[in-house]
Chains A and B, each alone.
Chain A
Amino acid sequence: MIILEDVEYSYDGIYTALRGVTLQVDRGESVAIMGTNGAGKTTLIKHFNGLLRPQAGNVFLEGKDTSQMSVAEMAKIVGLVFQNPDHQLFLESCKKEIAFGLKNLGFTQEEAEERCDQTLSRLGLEGFAERSPFALSGGERKRVALASVLATEPDVLALDEPTIGQDARQKESLARMLMEMNKKGRTVIVVTHDIEFVIEHFPRTIAMSDGQIVADGDTSSVLTHEEVLERCSLTLPQMTQAAKALRHRFDNVSDRLASLSDIESIATTLLEGA
C-alpha cells in the first residue's frame, strides 16, 4: 500500500511541481494517472520509490514512513520505469540490463537467465539478448527498459508512459503482462496520455493538473466529467464521441464511456432496423 499525505515538491524553490498531493493506492490495485503536460505526474511517481523526497508532507510504503527508508529498500518494493528510457539503460547488452536488477534481488544466474529470456520474448524482443540497448529503435528501447523492471515482478509497478513508441500489438502484449501480474496481487500504476489504454485496462484513474489531483475515482466517471477533462487537458475517446453524437438522434444511446462493442451493437441495431 502507498499513502501520500499533503506532499509538496519544488525543483527550484520557485515553481512548485506538487502542491499538496494526497492519495492512497491499495495493494493489488491498478491505477492510471493522467493529465496536463507538466502537471507533476512524473514528479509524483518518483516519490513512490524514493528517487524524490517530499519537501513537505509524508510518503508511507507498506505502512512504513519512508523518511526512515533508503532508496534501496524502497526500490525492492517499487519498480519504476522512467518516461525516457535513456535515463534508465546503461549496460552494453539487453541481457545484462535485465539481469542487473534480478541479480540485485538475489536471483541465481540460471533463474535470472530464464526470466530474462521469458520477458524479452513476451515483449517482442526475441533475439535481442546480446544486442546493445543503444542500437535500437525508440519503441524497442522503451520495451527493454520495461523488461528490466517487469522481469523482477516487484510488489508495485510504477510505469511512466509505458506505451510510448508502441504499436497496437506491443501495447496489447504489455497490457496482458501487466494484468497477469495484477491478478497475482501486484499493484500496477501507470502514468499515461493514452486514453484508450486506460479505458481498456484500468478501473481507477487519477487526473492531475498544475501540481494537484483534480479527480480520483472510477475511470468511467473521471473520463466523462467535462470539467475534469477541460482542466486536465483530456479529450473524449473516439467511441464516446460517436455515442455522444448519436445520442442527439437516438435516445436509447447511453452517455457513459462507450466501448467498441457498445457502438458496434448500437450501430447494428440501428442499421438493421432501418
Chain B
Amino acid sequence: MALVKFDDFSYKYYGADSLALKKINLTIDNGEYVVITGPSGCGKTTLCRAINGLVPRFHRGYIAGHVYVDEKDTREHEVAHFAAIAGLVFQNPENQLVTLNVEKEIAFGPENLGVNPVEVRRRVEEIIDLLDLEHLRDKHPHEMSGGEQQRVAMAATLALNPQILVADEPTSNLDPKSAEKILEIISTLNKRGMTVVLVEHRLDLVAKEATRVVLMDRGRIVADGTPTEVLVADICQDIGVGIPKATEIYKRLNAKGLRLGSVPLTGEELALLIQEGTV
C-alpha cells in the first residue's frame, strides 16, 4: 500500500463556513518528492496537517473519508504515533519552537520518541553542522531572526529522522542562498530515500528537484503530474499561481510558433534550449 493515502477525505475546521478540503484522493509512494502548490487559502497547510494526524486530532472539525499513513488510519491513532513517520515543518516556525535554546530544540523531538541519548547527541551535532547553526546553538528560539527560526524549525524536524518530511513553505523566510542550501539538503535526503512533501509558492525554486507537482484550488486537487506537465498547463495562470519565468518564456514562444525542444524550469535550461534551437 502507498505510504500516504487520502481516500475521499473532506475536512472543515470547527466554526468555519466552508470545507478546507473537499473529497481529496491522493496517494504518495515511498521516495517521491511532491510539491504542493495553489493559491493562498486553498488548503495546502490543512493537507499537511492531515498527513501527520494534527487534522483531525489536534484541529477539531467535521471530517469525512480517511487518511492512511503507513497503512494506519489517522482517525484511529494518536498524533504521537505519526510523529516518527511524518515530520512536519510548520508554516510559521515560531509556533513549532517550544524549548529554551536551539540545541535543546533539536534534541527535543528524538528524546520524546525515546531515541537513546548517544544517538540523540549524534543527530544534534550532525544537524547543527549540516544546517550551519553553530553560532545559534545557545540562543533562545524566540530571540532570533525569522530566517534563523525557520532553519531551526527545519533542523528540529529533520532530527526526528522522519520517513516523510512534510515541509510547509520552509523557505519563506530564508535568504536566497540559504533557501538554495536547504532545498539542496532536502533533495539529497530524498535521493537517499526520504519521501518529501513540500508546500511552495515560488515554483522556480523547487520545480527542478520535484518528481511531482500537485496543484490545489479551493480545497480540491485540480492538477497532478510531473513538474513540466503541470507548470506548462494554462490552469496555473487561470487560478493565479506563478510559474517559473523560464517556463513562461517557453509558453510565449510556443504561442508565436517557436518551439523549444522541451519545457525549461530554470534559466540555464532555457538558455540551453534556445542555443539548441539556433544551431
Interface set of A (CB-CB < 8 Å, partner B): 11-12, 34-38, 42, 83-84, 86, 124, 135-140, 143, 161, 164-171, 193-196, 232-246, 249, 260, 263-264, 266-268, 270-274
Please give the distance in Å from A198's CB to the nearest CB on chain B: 11
Ranked 7 nearest A-B pairs via Cβ? A169-B240, A37-B147, A168-B242, A139-B40, A241-B267, A245-B271, A233-B177
Residues of chain A with a CB closer than 8 A to B38's CB = 167
Verify if B246 is at the interface (C-beta below 8 Å from A). yes
Verify if B162 is at the interface (C-beta below 8 Å from A). no
Contact pattern, B 41-55, Cβ under 8 Å of A = 1, otherwise 0: 100110000000000
Whether the pair B270, A263 counts as a contact (CB closer than 8 A) is yes
Whether the pair B267, A245 counts as a contact (CB closer than 8 A) is yes
Q: How far is the CA of A267 from the CA of B253 in the complex (A)?
A: 8
Q: How far is the CA of A57 from the CA of B251 in the complex (A)?
A: 52
Q: How far is the CA of A66 from the CA of B144 in the complex (A)?
A: 26
Our pick among A42, A135, A242 for the contact of B15 (Cβ within 8 Å) is A135
Whether the pair A169, B172 counts as a contact (CB closer than 8 A) is no
Whether the pair A271, B174 counts as a contact (CB closer than 8 A) is no
Q: How far is the CA of A41 from the CA of B16 in the complex (A)?
A: 37
Instruction: List residues of B (76-113) whose CB comes within 8 Å of A's CBs.
Output: 91-92, 94-95
Whether the pair A193, B249 counts as a contact (CB closer than 8 A) is no
Our pick among A138, A234, A267, A273 for the contact of B169 (Cβ within 8 Å) is A138
Please give the distance in Å from B180's CB to the nearest CB on chain A: 7
Please give the distance in Å from A233's CB to the nearest CB on chain B: 4
Whether the pair B143, A242 counts as a contact (CB closer than 8 A) is no
**Knowing A38-B147, A84-B92 touch, does A239 contact B245 (C-beta < 8 A)?**
yes
Whether the pair B275, A246 counts as a contact (CB closer than 8 A) is yes
Whether the pair B253, A264 counts as a contact (CB closer than 8 A) is yes
For A124, A195, A236, A267, the residue with the greatest tally of chain B CB atoms inside 10 Å of its CB is: A267
- Would you mind naming 17 contact pairs between A and B with Cβ atoms under 8 Å apart? A36-B178, A37-B145, A37-B146, A38-B148, A86-B95, A135-B15, A140-B41, A167-B38, A170-B40, A193-B147, A239-B246, A242-B249, A246-B271, A264-B249, A267-B258, A270-B278, A272-B258
**Knowing A37-B148, A137-B45, A241-B268 touch, does A168 contact B201 (C-beta < 8 A)?**
yes
Please give the distance in Å from A240's CB to the nearest CB on chain B: 7
Residues of chain B with a CB closer than 8 A to A139's CB = 40-41
**Knowing A260-B248, A274-B278 touch, does A268 contact B151 (C-beta < 8 A)?**
no
Our pick among B15, B180, B241, B252 for the contact of A168 (Cβ within 8 Å) is B241
Whether the pair A264, B252 counts as a contact (CB closer than 8 A) is yes
Q: How far is the CA of A206 from the CA of B169 in the complex (A)?
A: 25
Residues of chain A with a CB closer than 8 A to B244's CB = 238
Residues of chain A with a CB closer than 8 A to B270's CB = 238, 242, 263, 267
Whether the pair A249, B146 counts as a contact (CB closer than 8 A) is no
Our pick among A34, A170, A238 for the contact of B246 (Cβ within 8 Å) is A238
Q: How many A-B residue pairs have CB under 8 A?
A: 168
- A164 (CB) vs chain B CBs: closest residue: B172
Our pick among A234, A244, A268 for the contact of B176 (Cβ within 8 Å) is A234
Residues of chain B with a CB closer than 8 A to A196's CB = 245
Whether the pair A86, B278 counts as a contact (CB closer than 8 A) is no
Q: How far is the CA of A171 from the CA of B258 in the complex (A)?
A: 30
Verify if B256 is at the interface (C-beta below 8 Å from A). yes
Our pick among B92, B177, B178, B245 for the contact of A138 (Cβ within 8 Å) is B92
Whether the pair B176, A193 counts as a contact (CB closer than 8 A) is yes
Please give the distance in Å from A118's CB to the nearest CB on chain B: 19
Residues of chain A with a CB closer than 8 A to B180's CB = 235
Residues of chain B with a CB closer than 8 A to A245's CB = 267-268, 271-272
Verify if B161 is at the interface (C-beta below 8 Å from A). no
Whether the pair B249, A235 counts as a contact (CB closer than 8 A) is no
Residues of chain B with a CB closer than 8 A to A167's CB = 38-40, 201, 240-242
Residues of chain B with a CB closer than 8 A to A35's CB = 175
Verify if B193 is at the interface (C-beta below 8 Å from A). no
Q: How far is the CA of A143 from the CA of B120 in the complex (A)?
A: 40
Please give the distance in Å from B216's CB to the nearest CB on chain A: 11
Residues of chain B with a CB closer than 8 A to A233's CB = 175-178
Instruction: List residues of B (102-138) whose CB comes within 8 Å of A's CBs.
Output: none
Q: How far is the CA of A245 from the CA of B272 in the complex (A)?
A: 8
Whether the pair A37, B173 counts as a contact (CB closer than 8 A) is yes
Please give the distance in Å from A68's CB to the nearest CB on chain B: 29
For A193, A194, A195, A249, the residue with the greatest tally of chain B CB atoms inside 10 Å of its CB is: A193
Instruction: List residues of B (214-256) whose CB comes within 8 Å of A's CBs.
Output: 240-242, 244-246, 248-249, 252-253, 256
Whether the pair B176, A195 counts as a contact (CB closer than 8 A) is yes
Q: How far is the CA of A86 from the CA of B92 in the complex (A)?
A: 9
